[in-house]
Amino acid sequence: QSALTQPRSVSGSPGQSVTISCTGTSSDLGHYNSVSWYQQHPGKAPKLIIYAITERPSGVPDRFSGSKSGSAASLTISGLQADDEADYYCCAFAGIFTRVFGTGTKVTVL
Amino acid sequence: EVQLVESGGGLIHPGGSLRLSCSASGFNVSSKFMSWVRQAPGKGLEWVSVIHISGDRFYADAVKGRFTISRDNSVNTLYLQMSSLRVEDTALYYCARAYTQNYDDFDIWGPGTMVTVSS
């Protein structure tokens, strides 16, 4: 159950787009067709922003989008805003009954 | 209002035991997949355990054999019994409700309860 691999940090200017990758193996992301994404501001609990690869919960703006191909998934934030500055985590199946989070990515708005 | 509130954290010596509680309101814990997720200070999220609607329980390798997840439907509360605690179990422990049966999609989180394992 090794953590999924994410870049340590990404950055962008307001209005730009950034993409965060989440890389696994043929045993986790490559085998199961589901991934979710979370946003976590400092000192706060995580917030679900993408589930089932591409779906957004009610209230999450469509600036957030997800995709998956093979053993890798991606989260794209379009029209970057100051409040998007946070840590982001992917989460996927590690096996049929267990789950695993990514290593986390810090998004900085320049 | 749908919410989760954890309690039971504290300072414990290595090898000790502790039971965390997660009180739910606005929904029944028995009707959802419920998990515990932890976050060591300054580190990332780590999935710990799940209890299925059926009552089946599953654990991360790091805690298997030491932690036990359970629920009490009469008081609508989720528990995590932790034993043989190690320094590396030090973390903020969240309980979380899964949005779907995939339970990689936690839509409701508690504020967390801090567990510190130290001599």
DSSP secondary structure of B14-66? TT--EEEEEEEESS-GGGS-EEEEEE-TTS-EEEEEEE-TTS-EEE-TTTTTT
DSSP state of B100: S
Q: Do B44 and A97 touch (CB under 8 A)?
A: no
Percentage of chain A lying above the pLDDT 90 cut: 93
Residue B64: pLDDT band (50, 70, 90) is very high
CA dihedral B97, B99, B101, B103 (to 10 degrees): -60
Residue A95: pLDDT band (50, 70, 90) is confident
Nearest to B85 by CA among B107, B61, B53, B117: B117
Position B96 pLDDT exceeds 90: yes
Position B117 pLDDT exceeds 80: yes
Tokens 């490559």: give the residue: A30
Q: Which of B37, B59, B104, B113 to mutate to test the interface with A (most CBs of A within 10 A)?
A: B104
Give me the long-range contacts of A9-12 (CB less than 8 A, separation at least 24).
A9/A105, A9/A106, A9/A107, A9/A108, A10/A105, A10/A106, A10/A107, A10/A108, A11/A107, A11/A108, A11/A109, A11/A110, A12/A77, A12/A80, A12/A107, A12/A108, A12/A109, A12/A110
Among the partner-chain residues B47, B56, B94, the one whose CB lies closest to the CB of A100 is B47
Q: Do A99 and B103 touch (CB under 8 A)?
A: yes
* Residue pairs spanning A and B at CB distance below 8 A: 77
Which three-class secondary structure state does DSSP give residue B115? strand
Position A1 pLDDT exceeds 80: no
Q: What does the pLDDT average to over A45-67? A: 97
8 Å CB contact between A66 and A75: yes
Q: Which of B2, B4, B102, B114 to mutate to test the interface with A (most CBs of A within 10 A)?
A: B102
Q: What does the pLDDT average to over B85-104? A: 96
Position B39 pLDDT exceeds 80: yes
